[in-house]
Amino acid sequence: MRVVVDLTKCQGYAQCAFLAPSAFQMQGEETLLYDPSPAEDAQVRRAAAACPVQAIQLDRVAAHDMPLLGVTPGVGAGRIVIVGASLAGLRAAEALREEGWSGSLTLIDDEPYGPYDRPPLSKQALGGHIRPDRTGLPHRADLDANWLLGVRALGLDLPARRVQLSDGTAVPFDRLLIATGVRARPWPVPAEGALDGMFVLRTRDDAIALQQRLLPRDGSRPGRVLVVGAGFTGSEVASTCRSLGLEVTVAEAARTPLEGALGSAIGSIAADIQREHGVDLRCGVTVERIEGDRRVRRAVLSDGEVLDVDVVVAALGGLRNVEWLEHSGLAVGPWGVACDAGCRAFDVNGVVTDDVFVAGDVARAPNALFGYQFLALEHWANAVAQAEVAAHNMVSDESDRWPHLHMPQFWSAQFGNNIKSVGVPTFADEVVIAQGSVADRRFVAAYGYKGRLTGAVAFNHAKWLPFYKRLIEQAAPFPPEFDRVDRPDDALPVPAGVPDRALLARDATVVVTGHRPTLVRSIR
């Protein structure tokens, strides 16, 4: 049985962990770690039904688990091809069928596995609680799709309506969805990157390799682990290493961990948390080089220090998988594929196309909530929501197009803390602790830009975020002045410490990238 929890929705009510404790565990007060492939079990179904926010999805196989597909005559003609069969691609495929699409449906992905969930890879999988190859995403049994797995899309021939594949074949389409996502940014020096002991973490194979190295083998365990980059992935890897009892150094070029996503004011709290948990955190330093003979031995830092290390995890953010679109005539660049709020891709002239759609991490679309800025979001919930909008628009009439008016949301589990965000914290100049206590690690931080509330971040306080989401949607004033429960006495707005764009480009989760799609290439 396959399980996935929409942790964007999860508010830590723990009902699942009470009712199916072998499959769902709470770490700290509201961080949920779960087994994505538990034994088929009445307890798991009970847990899924009990979720107060209905965030637990199981394989939908039984009739009462899903609405029957209502196939609408007339929308079934033709071929839809989806390139990228991860979360966004899968969700789009399901949504197309739920919309009544009865034509042919082909999913293409260069990984040989079916769709799997990535967030558990840096947490429960890396820590050895579950097998990294058992995070397959649940989906409906009646998808009726052609799966072309283990083949890479090499090019897109728009005039001929064909996707060229690495096996020499070409797949024709009438409508195309681009959902090729992001890959891990490799270590910049290939010779060092090839050393035994160098890792990145993005895919299932990455997680299997890294887990094997981190877990004790024959009673021996690795020496110091160096994590380069303290964004979410790097911080989560460091957290897992500490929970395994490993010595960890984290090297971060910015002033604090998570600075690219949360700014340095809140990032400094993340720094304190890392140090409290025994991480040797070094901010404002870069790694000059990695030394070793076949194996990783030493890391030389920009401050001159030399560290003896056994394992290096390069958590340097992601690169969007757009190379195959280089000559397609679409508006592509390092920020992804530009599209309109209805997920239709722009061509290189900024003219919207009719039959090519984009969803997930590879998409960048204007968001009305944030001044129509083009946002490129590497968020689980965005992938799901955008895929659903894209699927709807792919099979709907011009008069029935949906806009993707998504409020960005993400989460991270690290060092026993549940960090959740709504809005765009980096679209901010100031931040204030709105509720709770930083010292207790239970608080909500509200972010503002020019007197307007633009984001909120909760540390172990997720149940309050729906309130702030509503306020952000309403463009409520910042700082919040109303009387409320658990308002800190001494909280005053401080500069949010949002870094400049060069840093955002490397490790941000939310990227605000300028107005016009034709400007994409100028931001390198």
Site for another protein, rule CB under 8 A:
13-15, 17-21, 25-29, 42-43, 45-46, 49-50, 52-54, 64, 66-67, 434-437, 440, 442, 463-467, 470, 482-487
Contact 168, 177 (CB under 8 A): no
CB nearer to another protein: pick between 27 and 243: 27
Q: How far apart are CA 92 and CA 177, in angstroms?
A: 8
CB nearer to another protein: pick between 41 and 196: 41
CB nearer to another protein: pick between 231 and 423: 423
Token output for 365: 């679309």
CB nearer to another protein: pick between 175 and 442: 442
CB nearer to another protein: pick between 43 and 396: 43
Q: How far apart are CA 282 and CA 153, in angstroms?
A: 40
Burial, 159: exposed, middle or buried (Cβ in 10 Å; 0-12, 13-18, 19+)? Answer: exposed
Cβ 265 to another protein shortest distance, Å: 21
SS3 474: coil
Cβ 469 to another protein shortest distance, Å: 9
Residue 293, φ and ψ in degrees, nearest 5:
-110, 105
Q: How far apart are CA 299 and CA 307, in angstroms?
A: 5
Give me the numbers of helices (H) and strands (E) for the chain, helices first please.
10, 34
CB nearer to another protein: pick between 242 and 282: 242
Contact 74, 100 (CB under 8 A): no
For 388-455, the three-class secondary structure string (H helix, E strand, C coil) is: HHHHHHHCCCHHHCCCCCCCCEEEEEECCEEEEEEECCCCCCEEEEEEEECCCCEEEEEEEECCEEEE
Cβ 461 to another protein shortest distance, Å: 9
Contact 71, 97 (CB under 8 A): no
CB nearer to another protein: pick between 317 and 448: 448
Token output for 479: 């700082």
Contact 200, 227 (CB under 8 A): no
Cβ 63 to another protein shortest distance, Å: 9
Cβ 258 to another protein shortest distance, Å: 24
Cβ 25 to another protein shortest distance, Å: 7
Q: Which amino acid is at 77?
A: A
Cβ 149 to another protein shortest distance, Å: 30
DSSP 304: S
Strands 417-423, 332-333: pairing kind: unpaired
Cβ 433 to another protein shortest distance, Å: 13
Q: How far apart are CA 45 and CA 55, in angstroms?
A: 13
CB nearer to another protein: pick between 46 and 79: 46
Segment (H or E) for 272: helix 259-276
Cβ 17 to another protein shortest distance, Å: 4
CB nearer to another protein: pick between 377 and 381: 381
CB nearer to another protein: pick between 53 and 154: 53
CB nearer to another protein: pick between 14 and 149: 14
CB nearer to another protein: pick between 306 and 439: 439
Cα–Cα distances in angstroms (integers) from residue 331 to residues 245, 255, 517, 518, in the given order:
47, 34, 7, 7
Q: How far apart are CA 331 and CA 340, in angstroms?
A: 11
Q: Which amino acid is at 430?
A: E
Contact 479, 289 (CB under 8 A): no
Tell me if the bond preceding 425 is cis, omega within 30° of 0.
no
Residues in the chain: 524
Cβ 349 to another protein shortest distance, Å: 42
Cβ 16 to another protein shortest distance, Å: 9
Cβ 508 to another protein shortest distance, Å: 28
CB nearer to another protein: pick between 485 and 502: 485
SS3 384: helix
Which of 318, 267, 333, 319 shows the shortest CA–CA distance to 495? 267
Cβ 356 to another protein shortest distance, Å: 32
